[in-house]
Amino acid sequence: MTTIVSRVVDDPGSIDAATWDQLLALQPAPTPFMRHAFLTALHASGSADASTGWTPRFLLLEQDGRCMAAAPVYLKTHSWGEYVFDWAWADAYHRHGMHYYPKLVVAVPFTPVAGTRLMAMDAQARHLLVAALEDLAARSGASGVHVLFHDQADALALHTTGWLPREGTQFHWQAEASGRPRCFEDLLATLQRDKRKKVLQERRRVAESGIRFTVHHGSGITPSLWHHFFQCYRATYANHGAPPHLRREFFEQTAEAMGDLWLMFVAHRAGQPVAASLLAVDPGRRAAFGRYWGSLEPAPFLHFEACYYQPLQWCIENGYDRFEGGAQGEHKIARGLLPCATQSAHWLVHRGFRDAVGHYLHDETAAVAHHRAALQTHTPFRNGGAG
């Protein structure tokens, strides 16, 4: 049998796009964010490259020139843009006179959306990929490897080889949980009276401020709308004293290369655009993902309208099964998004720290699960569910 060899690639654009995407299509949970065009745009635009602390070390396993497994790997010098927080681990390393950075992460930069991370032709190739990640960490002088927002097939390969599992919580709307409404009014009818009243009040306040929305998909998002969106996106980061993670070129490149990926909601007042939210859509999986938003002027409840109510209304009207509202945010429960578990897995080179983190995660996992169960009791739906 021919030996499978590993190859490390420092420029995603040099990987054959068809090879990468064909392998992705075979996975149990492919998302558009793992597509070659998306990852390449992150790098080519300067949003995720060595200058921003995201040095590509994409890992490929090949046999007779055929790609058997692959993963988007980055050598990181910080923990920004990951949404799985390990600052306390870095601090512990520092207090013991050790270096936590660089580390390796297997992730889609700035994208906390769960899906396949370890692409493989079969379970054996996926296990070999896990072993290759451990070897890459040792050869790179990294403190360890962290696989973020992975799927169940990844979990099986990682956990059976001693990686440390970690859970988080996000908030997703699922059509099934709200009785598969046919319109937004149907969704409101499933909510408890106080929650329904609150949503109606918030939407009314936005309308009374003179704001109206238009919806634009794929090629219907014109260059002028992209310009407006980026101005809003940049302004929101500036309000928090930081530059945006993603550069204008990233949005331009993905808009050109990925066709119908993006869905934009634009808020207008007095005929002028004043805010925008941007979603990614996956028609094959009937899922939409809230990603970015921004506003050029304040308005009460505009964020909720642009980022939750308009997307939910669109998802319902277009027969989508799921809307993921992004990372964190218990306030989303009152708006029909329920708590869901997310997963990551971690392997640290230093055995002592690996054991210590394992003990910590054992307790953290129980606490996170308990908190998520408590959140489930605060369902906004009547009678504990749709009805």
89 within 8 A of 100, measured Cβ to Cβ: yes
Whose CA is closest to 9, among 35, 40, 37, 34? Answer: 40
Q: What are phi and psi of 358, to 5 degrees?
A: -60, -45
What's residue 239's pLDDT?
Answer: 87
Kindly tell me if the per-residue pLDDT of 155 is higher than 60.
yes
Same fold, 5-162 and 172-339: yes
Whose CA is closest to 149, among 67, 33, 9, 309? Answer: 33
CATH of domain 5-162: 3.40.630.30
Query: Cis peptide leading into 243, omega within 30 of 0?
Result: no
**Mean pLDDT score of the chain, rounded to an integer?**
95
Kindly tell me if the per-residue pLDDT of 385 is higher than 90.
no
**What pLDDT, in 10s, does the model give residues 175-213?**
998 899 999 999 999 999 999 999 999 999 999 999 999
What's residue 387's pLDDT?
Answer: 31
Kindly tell me if the per-residue pLDDT of 326 is higher than 90.
no
Distance (Å, rounded) from C-alpha 360 to C-alpha 91?
A: 14
**What pLDDT, in 10s, does the model give residues 331-365?**
899 899 999 999 999 999 999 999 999 999 999 99
What's residue 386's pLDDT?
Answer: 38
Kindly tell me if the per-residue pLDDT of 133 is higher than 80.
yes
**What pLDDT, in 10s, does the model give residues 267-288?**
999 999 999 999 999 999 999 9
**What pLDDT, in 10s, does the model give residues 216-246?**
999 999 999 999 999 999 999 998 888 899 9
Estimate to the nearest angstrom the gap between the alpha carbon of 299 and the chain centroid. Answer: 27
| Helix, strand and coil in the chain, % to nearest 5 | 45, 25, 30
What's residue 384's pLDDT?
Answer: 55
**What pLDDT, in 10s, does the model give residues 85-131?**
999 999 999 999 999 999 999 999 999 999 999 999 999 999 999 99
What's residue 102's pLDDT?
Answer: 98
Distance (Å, rounded) from C-alpha 347 to C-alpha 73?
A: 14
Annotated domain spans of the chain: 5-162, 172-339
Distance (Å, rounded) from C-alpha 337 to C-alpha 116?
A: 23
Portion of the chain with pLDDT greater than 90, in percent: 91
For the beta carbon of residue 171, count every other beta carbon within 10 angstroms.
23
Burial of 209 by CB count in 10 Å (0-12 exposed, 13-18 middle, 19+ buried)? middle
Q: Return the C-alpha torsion angle 154, 155, 161, 162, nearest 10.
A: 140
Burial of 387 by CB count in 10 Å (0-12 exposed, 13-18 middle, 19+ buried)? exposed
What's residue 3's pLDDT?
Answer: 87
Q: Does domain 172-339 have CATH number 3.40.630.30?
A: yes
What's residue 1's pLDDT?
Answer: 55
